[in-house]
Structure formats: C-alpha cells, structure tokens
Amino acid sequence: MLSNLKIDVEAKAFFVFGDSLVDNGNNNYLATTARADAPPYGIDYPTHRPTGRFSNGLNIPDIISESMGWEPTLPYLSPELIGEKLLVGANFASAGVGVLNDTGIQFVNIIRIFQQLNFFEQYKKRLSKIIGEEETKRVVNESLVLITLGGNDFVNNYYLIPYSLRSQQYSLEDYVPFVISEYKKVLQRLHDLGPQRVLVTGSGPLGCVPAELAQHSTNGECAAELMKAAGLFNPQLVQMLDQLNQEIGSDVFIAANTNQMHLDFISNPQQFGFVTSKLACCGQGPYNGLGLCTPLSNLCPNRDLYVFWDPFHPSERANRLIVQQILSGSNTYMHPMNLSSIMALDSRA
C-alpha cells in the first residue's frame, strides 16, 4: 500500500502546528528551557545528532513526509527556509505550547499558537513574493496540515502544580469544554487562512507517560486524574471537529485517535514488538520518568524496544506505528477517513 502511495501522490505543501510532539527544531532558535538540542536526542537521526526534535530519531511529521515521498519540512525559524524550500511547506510547532496562551508559561519564550498562525500569514506573504498571490493561494488550499495541541493544557497547566490557577477557576468537567471552545477558534482561524485538509491529533493517554507514572503510580497503573482528562478531551474534540466540518460543509478536519493508538501499545506492548510501555528509554528515577533526558541520563541500548523515548515523548518506532494508522487506519483510529483516502480523493479532484 505505502510503496504505491509514493508514486500516486502529487507533492502537496505540508504545514505543521502544535507542541513538542511535532516541533522539529523551532525552539533551538529561542531562549527557552523547552529544547531538545543536546545528546542523546537525535541518537538515531540520520546525522546521529540532536536536531531539536523530541525524539531519538524522526517524529510524526517527518514520517508522514517520508511516507509521501516529500522532503521533510524545515522549522519556520530556520535560516535555511528560503526560496524554493518554501514550496515544501513549513513547521511552525513549538515545544511547550497549548491551546491556551497561559499554558507553558514556565518555558517563557515559546511560539504560542496564535503566533504560529501569525507566522503562517507571514509565510504566505513570503511565498507570494516568489510565486505570486494566486499560486500561493492554490498551494495553501491544496496543502496538508497537521496540528497537535491539548496535552500541555493539562500536563503543563491544569495539573502542573497542585492548586494551579486554572484548577481553582474550573472543575475538570468545565475546563475541558473551555479548552475545546478555544481550540475551535484556533481551527477556525487556521481554516480562514486557506487550508482545506487538516489532520488533528487527540491527546495521548496523558496519565500513562513515564513522567506521570514516576509521580503518581505505585505499581505501574496510569495516573487516574490525567486519564480522566484525556477521556473527556478526546471525544469532545471529535465532536467539535464534526461540528466545524458541518458548518464548513466539507471534511476539512480529520480526527486522528492517537489516544487509542497509544493505548494499544500500552495494553499490549509485546504485540507491537516492544518490551515495555512504562519505562522511558532515556531518563532517571522511577520508570526513567523524572526530570529531563540529558547526556547524564540512563540510556537504553535499543530504542526500538521502547514505546517511550523520554519521560513524555514516543520513540521513533512508536511514531512509525502511529503514522501507519494515520495513513491506513480504520474508522476507530481515523475519523471520517484516513490519510490514504484523503490523498486518493484529492488526486482525483
């Protein structure tokens, strides 16, 4: 299936928005602690050097580009993103951000989502200077977009500290619809900027990441509060996307059930060739889940056997399995359709 995809697919521009699950190096250019620019990050990347990706190797956008036979997108802040490279698309994502502007405040200089969209407008102006306004409009209309947001609104906001401001302001049951309603505004603005195909990933099972196990788990069970948050957020996200598609009158927004994809690994790691879904490959403390992954951390010899690379982020191999589902997964995973179906539809259009 994948091999003939590479031939069928006309190169679409690819734009990426969101947080550290999809950031491929923007934060390297910023004065922030939310960066992945030191070893052992990038240990399995083709150059074996850190790139700013929060992975041992490739992340989800890289693997989508690779599957499509496209060049990987460059970070928007990269000085290399000039001239013809702009036609490939751009990655605007920044580690630490959420839907809400007060999420990730402890990371100081990160590109909040409204600023990512401002940069996208700037990108369109830059591209217009090279290929003209009409052609830019076509490139953006026919592009593919990936956006990954929401996890940090819980992990790095609501649950960041006991008695956080947001948790005093809202019960979890009220906070989730608030985040969803703000996310809807973000997606409306994104659509107003021209893209007609937007993949939106849900949050993963937030309570099962090694960082949360290290803090909340006595014998390896996922942290209940965060699981409850993900359990509320993901279905409401899908509902909101359906609503947006109805309002627009076409299937612009595609929901990727990354929560279920991750839960599959977590409930049966062996079935997917992993030895563990609880232990991070790189880290320290219980489950290698405390602090950051640094040159001094414990490091596993074979990253492909671990679902988690560091206390929060999946390994390249887990990312590859996620992209496989994005490309060809059933309706359980991709709603209303998977990426292969989108590409087939768009190539006929």
Q: Are 65 and 324 in contact (CB under 8 A)?
A: no
pTM higher than 0.75: yes
Q: Among 349, 323, 347, 327, which residue's Cα sits nearest to residue 338?
A: 327
Mean pLDDT of 112-121: 98
Q: What is the average pLDDT across 312-319?
A: 98
Calculate mean pLDDT across residues 44-54.
Answer: 98
Give the dihedral sign, CA 203/208/213/216: positive
Residues 270-280 have pLDDT tens digits of 999 999 999 99
Question: Does the pLDDT of residue 1 top 70, yes or no?
Answer: no
What is residue 349's predicted lDDT score, i.e. its pLDDT?
66
CA dist 298 to 90, 163, 292, Å?
A: 34, 32, 11
pLDDT confidence bin for 124, thresholds 50/70/90: very high
- State yes or no: pLDDT of 2 exceeds 80: no
Q: pLDDT tens digits for 154-174?
A: 999 999 999 999 999 999 999
Active site residues: 20, 310, 313
Classify residue 82 by burial, with Cβ atoms within 10 Å: 0-12, 13-18, 19+. exposed
Mean pLDDT over the full length of the chain: 95
Return the pLDDT at 11.
Answer: 84
Question: 203 with 153: CB under 8 angstroms?
Answer: no
In the predicted structure, residue 191 carries a pLDDT above the cut 80 = yes
Residues 165/100, Cβ–Cβ less than 8 Å? no
Q: What is the pLDDT of residues 202-246, one digit of tens each?
A: 999 999 999 999 999 989 999 999 999 999 999 999 999 999 999
> What's the CA gap between 56 and 42, in Å, rounded?
5
Q: Is the pLDDT of residue 75 over 60?
A: yes
pLDDT given for residue 7 in this prediction: 33
Spatial separation of the C-alpha atoms in residues 59 and 55, rounded to whole Å: 6
